[in-house]
Amino acid sequence: MAGQVLSTGAATDNAKGAHPILCTFDVTTPRGNPALAAFLHNGQWIDATQEERRDIVIKDLCRFFGDEAANYLDYADKIWNDESYSGGCPTAIIPAGNMEAFTHIREPFKLIHFAATEAATVWPGYMCGAVQSGLRAANEVIWHCRPEAVNKEMLKDTIYDKDFESLTVPQPETYGSAGKNQWPRRIVFGAVLILGILAFSKKYKLSHMAR
């Protein structure tokens, strides 16, 4: 059993008129501590007490996972509408047809690389997805600026993933400080080099004549 549920919130005889759970996810920790995360119908249970929400959620979990779900160790919930910085729940379900275009929202446009929770390949719509997407975009930029510092694992889920071995790295003139026009510096360096050679030659000639 995966611990994942997707529900339409069918009608029921509880006070709110519908089952509370929309979906659940298995959020077992890396240390193996089992846990489930669930999302409830927006707005229908905000005014209820935490005890009321707990009772109806556990009852709904038993509907999906059996009576054993009532033997839980702990319960906690959060009303995300109260969070002033996040402003509510994660992103909504992607509309039909968008899956075909999903990879395109991660494609760079010239020197611009895109990162957002909506562009994540893991946990899109969540903070975890935002972090993963940001790391992916950063690795893409590093690949262009310092390709020797990037390995195949770092380019996983990027548009360069499949072609890592054969990918031709763009010339450094297109990225970062190396993208600036190098000709003025080259001219100055060449002029200094020529003057140095002339000065050395003149000094060597005078020294040779003195002998």
Residues tagged in the binding site annotation: 39, 118
Amino acid sitting at position 84: S
Binding-site residues for FAD, in ranges, read 118
Q: How far apart are CA 88 and CA 77, in angstroms?
A: 14
Instruction: Answer for the pair 151, 142: CB distance below 8 angstroms, yes or no.
Output: no
- Is 41 exposed, middle or buried (CB count within 10 Å of its CB: 0-12, 13-18, 19+)? middle
Q: SS3 of 110, please?
A: coil
Separation between Cα atoms, residue 27 and residue 35, nearest integer Å: 5
How many residues make up the chain in this entry? 211
Among 172, 174, 152, CA closest to 164: 152
Whose tokens are 């193996």? That residue is: 32
Contact 53, 21 (CB under 8 A): no
Which tokens is 94 given? 């992607």
